[in-house]
Amino acid sequence: MSFFPASFEELIDRFAALPGIGRKSAQRLAFHVLGMPEGEAEAFAQAILTARQLVHTCPICQNLTDGEICSICADSKRDRSVVCVVAEPRDVASLERSREFNGVYHVLHGVLSPMSHVGPDDIRITELVKRVSEGEIQEVIMATNPDTEGDATAMYVSRLLKPFGVRVTRLAYGIPVGSNLEFTDDATLVRALEGRRDM
């Protein structure tokens, strides 16, 4: 049974359908929307519609864009011979924040996951193979997460790309900067040992 007006319950339901938002939080957000200054709620609704209308994937790297191609692919100063392959658009944002990488990207929009029925045709692998087959790319850096699915995806993609004579590398995984041995988990320590380098 509902104790709020129907249109208000509807708004609560919509918020509650978002990931990580429980019933109580949804109620709080709905109350907040009701109390917003004039125009702000309209702007919020409009932002949802505009983002849905304008944002699509870049035909080259599959990253999100609201232009014809994304700003990174459009940037003539980026090195088109190195492609960094990531699982999600947010990973591009993380790497860009480091200001270290000057190549271009390829966003897979997922990782291979037999448990969740995600196979090679469900993520943007074909588009990557096509890009590599065109010949300009010399190195592909696999930057999927260092977990079972990310590793498996990196391995799978690497085998697909090797026949094109391209160099395929994987990001280094080890102890994060600022952390210490005591609080580093076993799996990370194993990676750190495997990846040790001469000083």
Q: Rule CB under 8 A: which residues touch its own copies?
A: 1, 3-8, 10-11, 13-14, 18-21, 25, 27-34, 36, 41-52, 54-55, 64-67, 70, 88-90, 92-93, 96-97
Q: How many CA atoms lie within 13 A of 78 on its CB side?
A: 19
Nearer to its own copies, 108 or 132 (CB): 108
Nearer to its own copies, 74 or 187 (CB): 74
Least distance (Å) between residue 19 CB and its own copies:
5
Neighbouring CB atoms inside 10 A of 28's CB total: 13
Least distance (Å) between residue 61 CB and its own copies:
13
Nearer to its own copies, 107 or 132 (CB): 107
Nearer to its own copies, 5 or 178 (CB): 5
Burial annotation 179-196 (CB, 10 A radius, 16+ → b, else e):
eeeeeeeeebeebbeeee
Least distance (Å) between residue 105 CB and its own copies:
10
Nearer to its own copies, 90 or 162 (CB): 90
CB contact at 8 A, 112 and 125: no
Least distance (Å) between residue 1 CB and its own copies:
8
Least distance (Å) between residue 167 CB and its own copies:
26
CB contact at 8 A, 108 and 153: yes
Contacts of 12 (CB under 8 A, 6+ apart): 4, 23, 26, 27, 30
